[in-house]
Structure formats: C-alpha cells, structure tokens
Amino acid sequence: MNTRKKLIAPSILSADFSRLRDEISAVDQGNCDLIHVDVMDGHFVPNLTIGPPVIRWIRKATKLPLDVHLMIEEPIRSLKEFREAGSDWITIHVEACRDVRKTIAEVRALGAKSGISLRPKTDLSLVEPYLSLVDLVLIMTVEPGFGGQVFIPEMLAKVRTLRPRFDGLISVDGGINLETGRQAAQEGADVFVAGSAIFRERDRKAYISQLRQAIS
C-alpha cells in the first residue's frame, strides 16, 4: 500500500502576479506543501513565463520548498542559476534534453531533488531508463504550456502503470481539481499540482483542505 504523505503544490501560474507575495502567503497559510513554479521558454512550449530573477523573489516570500518545473529546451545550460535562485526541486522534461542522464546528474550535483516530466503524448517507456536516478516523475495531465486546461483522463493509466515500477514521488500536473485529484490519488499519485482550481477560489485555504480530503 502507498502510505506516503500526499503533497499539494499550488501552481502560481494562475496567481495574480501583481500581488505575488500575498498570493503565495495565502496558499502557504492554507497549509499547502510546496509551491509549484512553471518556467516556460517560448520554444519547448508556446508560452513564456519567468526565470531565476523572479524565483529569487518567490524564494523570499515563503519557506516552503519550491517545486520548479522547467518547460525549457536544454535546461542543463541554466540549472545552476535556477538552483542558486532557490529552487529545491527541479524537474526537467525528457523531450527537452539531448543528454537526459547528464542533466539529471547535474540537478543532483547541485543538491536539488530531481524530477523528470513527460508530455501527454510521450510514452512512459521514455522515462523508464531514468527511474532509478530521479526522486520524482511528473506526469503531465494536460499539454504543457498553459494553466486552466481540462485534465486528460487517459493519463490516469500512466500513473497506474508507473506506480508499481517506481518508488519515488509521482506528481500529476494539469487540470487537477477535487474530482481529478481524487482519481489520480486512487491510482497512487503523491503530488498534486493545481493552479486554476486553487487560485480562482476566494478562500484558498478552504479549497486546499477540500482537496486534501479528496486525495486522502
């Protein structure tokens, strides 16, 4: 049985960036476990977000671990900057690295928890060779690039297949709400990234506690 603690990671992509400190405080005080930060480069995904300078400010706004999701080509070029800015967990995409093994080794050498992620269309077999090297597998449950999309139910099978083969944390990211969170939890997911579902609520604390109940 999976007895690991379930972790809730609000994605600040859906927060009001003009009030970022308050937005982070609201979910921090709402007893979430991590802050999920989506980094996009306009190449790997058709959207552009933030980089190390903003992460440095986020780092000052909370003591919670920063779960940094790099949707960027060849992240190996900038891992050091992301780590120095305060990233605790660093997740790279298997599709975005020429040398995945070397990239993961670099994340570990920098002292961060290492994660690997895959797009919905990418077969699980592509991350299989790296399972013994990472702490976390982040299963994209929407096409990476934007918040507020609808959960792809077929991704539940990926969680189900991966669970018995992987001892680390399985994260689900995209379209997570009370219902899809509950379904992913039943398949054995550990980390629940939720952006729009949390930040569209006025009472983030109440929603986080409902989500915790749904996934427990």
Q: Which residues bind ligand DX5 (CB under 6 A)?
A: 11, 13-14, 36, 38, 69, 142, 144-145, 147-149, 173-176, 193-197
Single out the catalytic residue among 38, 41, 67, 135.
38
CB of 158 to ligand DX5, least distance (A): 15
CB of 51 to Zn ion, least distance (A): 15
Nearer to ligand DX5, 38 or 190 (CB): 38
Which residue number is nearest to ligand DX5 in terms of Cβ? 195
Residue reference for tokens 């039943």: 186
- Residue 93 binding Zn ion, by CB under 5 A: no
- Of 42, 25, 41, 34, which Cα lies nearest the Cα of 89? 34
Instruction: Please count the CA atoms within 13 angstroms of the CA of 116 that sit on its side-chain side.
Output: 29
Which does residue 194 bind out of ligand DX5, Zn ion, none, counting CB within 5 to 8 angstroms by kind?
ligand DX5
Token duo for residue 109 = 């050498």
- Residue 173 binding Zn ion, by CB under 5 A: yes
Which does residue 14 bind out of Zn ion, ligand DX5, none, counting CB within 5 to 8 angstroms by kind?
ligand DX5
Q: How far apart are the first and last CA of the chain?
A: 13
- Residue 38 binding Zn ion, by CB under 5 A: yes
> Residue 54 in contact with residue 68, Cβ under 8 Å?
no
> Residue 176 in contact with residue 144, Cβ under 8 Å?
no
Residue reference for tokens 């940094």: 68
